[in-house]
Amino acid sequence: MHLLLPTTATLPLFDVAASRRIEARALTHSPDLMARAGLAVAKLSLALRRGDGPVWIACGPGNNGGDGRVAAQRLTEAGVPVHVGHNAPRRPSLVIDALLGLGLNRTPSTEMQLIFAAMAACGAPVLSVDLPSGLLADTGLPAGGHAVRADHTLALLTLKPGLLTGEGRAHCGHLWFDDLGIAPDEAPSAELLGTTRRPARGATSHKGSHGQVLVVGGAPGMQGAARLAARAALACGAGRVYLDLLNLPADQAADPGRPELMRGTLAALPRAVGVLGCGGGAAVAAALPDLLRQLSRAVIDADALNAIATDAGLQQALRARPDSATVLTPHPLEAARLLGCETASLQADRLAAARELARRFACTVVLKGAGSVIASPSERTAVCGSGGPALATAGSGDVLAGWLGGLWAQQPGASAHAIACAGVDAHGRAGEVDGVLRAGDLIERLAAAR
Ligand SMILES: NC(=O)C1=CN([C@@H]2O[C@H](COP(=O)(O)OP(=O)(O)OC[C@H]3O[C@@H](n4cnc5c(N)ncnc54)[C@H](O)[C@@H]3O)[C@@H](O)[C@H]2O)[C@@H](O)CC1
């Protein structure tokens, strides 16, 4: 058993159907899985308990409740007072939520919701077994809007995608994992991103060795977004970074605060990696046909995505680009516009939405938001476990787009998917701070990390 995050290793994720198959096969040679699960819950409970009060164990009707009952036995044997039931005891030292796990198949009843509320109100830390009760394991959506908010969750046997995306992170608290001694014997449904090191810089390299980035955006009044993207590309190590600031006279500086950045245009830089749309406004739409046709690698963000969402010709141009040549970086609203659906229905299944976007537009998609999802037509979908609320700040998306452009400039042979995975994880890690983070400081943190 170990605390899962942060992880440097890429880890397999299994949806409910796959977890059920793995469990069924494992039970044929290891029939004591529930005993192992209950023991793991009891061990973690001993470490998390606050004070001498009883451990309140709320057990449901299925095997999740069975795990809770085994934990009760183990804790009793260890001399710990336990209270098994649906009402809170006086001053519990810990709550074990063993109501619902993988078998959740409907909105928690009013009765169940009252137990969730009692857990939240009793003042003790809450440890959820396998999943916070009410949380859908495949999507991270609380069923009917109701799920336990745990302080800790101990995932058992497999890691499920819903622990890490959607509302999962908000409901899981600290995420622990115990594989119960079983090695999964089938291909993962998705994967949790590990860490990729930044490209090494050769001893004899020069700025020409590290590629070019062309940021196209920054319509009047919105230059900040494009400049943040360009600064991020530069901080990432791109050899030369140019800004095509839409409708800004060519004799004006690219970025007075960052003299390393230059003005540039597609005509002069056809081999650059394009970072398109940051602060693009309506003006970027007119530039997109040429950009989509000529750039061999492009990261497409913000207003460029909005332009594509409303223009069938641009959608066709996007689909016509070569394989692995494009990364789209929509936030949920932009993604919903691209799919022509409501944001809420998109958020209800983020992995499915990202996969559908990747299929429809034949490119790599980074669906941003808590637990960013990276999907590509022929790659395993990845979920990002790093990041946090400090990234919910103006400009952090521009920084991501620029960072991806900077990484790709230095690794021209890398696939769009590999670049997206490496950049999203680095961006998430750099954003793991308490409180507020300004986008400019995020760039500095990205640059300082290795
Ligand atoms: N079988 C085993 O040996 C193992 C089981 N494990 C545990 O077993 C769990 C899965 O067990 P189950 O398949 O029995 O499923 P659950 O225990 O998650 O729940 C199934 C039961 O809950 C009811 N239910 C579903 N949604 C409900 C709702 N909204 N309100 C009220 N009742 C609801 C179902 O009718 C069914 O009776 C895992 O999450 C994990 O905790 C793991 O420990 C691995 C080992």
Span 397-415, pLDDT tens digits: 999 999 999 999 999 999 9
- Contact criterion met (CB below 8 Å) for 254 and 261: yes
Question: Is residue 198 one of the residues assigned to a domain?
Answer: no
CATH number at residue 300: 3.40.1190.20
The pair of structure tokens assigned to 119 is 């857990």
Residue 162 among known ligand-binding residues: no
Q: 388 and 312 in one domain?
A: yes
Instruction: Report the C-alpha gap between 113 and 97 in whole angstroms.
Output: 12
Dihedral, CA of residue 41, residue 42, residue 45 and residue 47, to nearest 10: -110
**Cα of 143 vs its chain's centroid, Å:** 20
Distance 193 CA to ligand 1 centre (A): 28
Given a cut of 80, whether residue 124 has pLDDT beyond it is yes
C-alpha–C-alpha distance, residues 350 and 371, integer Å: 9
Atom number, ligand 1, closest to the C-alpha of residue 102: 39
Whether the pLDDT of residue 241 is over 90: the answer is yes
The answer on pLDDT for 194 being more than 80 is yes
Segments forming the whole domain that contains residue 158: 2-190
Shared-domain flag, residues 330 and 428:
yes
Does residue 301 lie within any of the structural domains?
yes
HEC string of 13-31 equals ECCHHHHHHHHHHHHHHCC
Nearest CA to ligand 1 atom 40: 64
Question: 239: annotated binding-site residue?
Answer: no
Residues 173 and 219 both lie in one domain? no
434 CA distance to ligand 1 middle (Å): 35
Number of the ligand 1 atom closest to the C-alpha atom of 65: 17
- Reply yes or no on whether the pLDDT at 200 is more than 90: no
Do 164 and 65 share a structural domain?
yes
Q: 0.90 exceeded by the pTM?
A: yes
Residue 280 pLDDT grade (very low, low, confident, very high; cuts 50, 70, 90): confident
- Give the closest residue (by CA) to ligand 1 atom 27: 104
Summarize pLDDT for 174-193 with one digit per residue, the tens: 999 999 999 999 999 999 99
Instruction: For residue 69, report the distance from its CA to the centre of ligand 1, in Å.
Output: 13
Q: Which of 147, 165, 190 represents a domain boundary (last residue)? A: 190
- Say what the ipTM of the complex is: 0.97
Based on the fold, state whether residues 184 and 211 are members of the same structural domain.
no
Determine the 3-state secondary structure of 216 from DSSP: strand
List all residues whose CB is within 6 A of at least one atom of ligand 1. 23, 27, 33-34, 37, 60-65, 67, 100-109, 112, 129-130, 156-157
Q: Is 413 annotated as a binding residue?
A: no
- In this structure, of 77-81, 112-116, 388-392, 425-429, the range with the lowest mean pLDDT score is 388-392
CB 219 within 8 A of CB 280: yes
- The whole-chain average pLDDT of the chain stands at 96
Is 371 one of the annotated binding-site residues?
Answer: yes
pLDDT band for position 385 (cuts 50, 70, 90): very high
201 domain-assigned: no
Task: Specify whether 327 is located in the same domain as 280.
Answer: yes
Banded model confidence at residue 450, pLDDT cuts 50, 70, 90: confident
- Confidence grade of residue 147 (pLDDT, cut at 50, 70, 90): very high
% of the chain residues with pLDDT over 70 = 100
**Residue 362's pLDDT band (boundaries 50, 70, 90)?**
very high
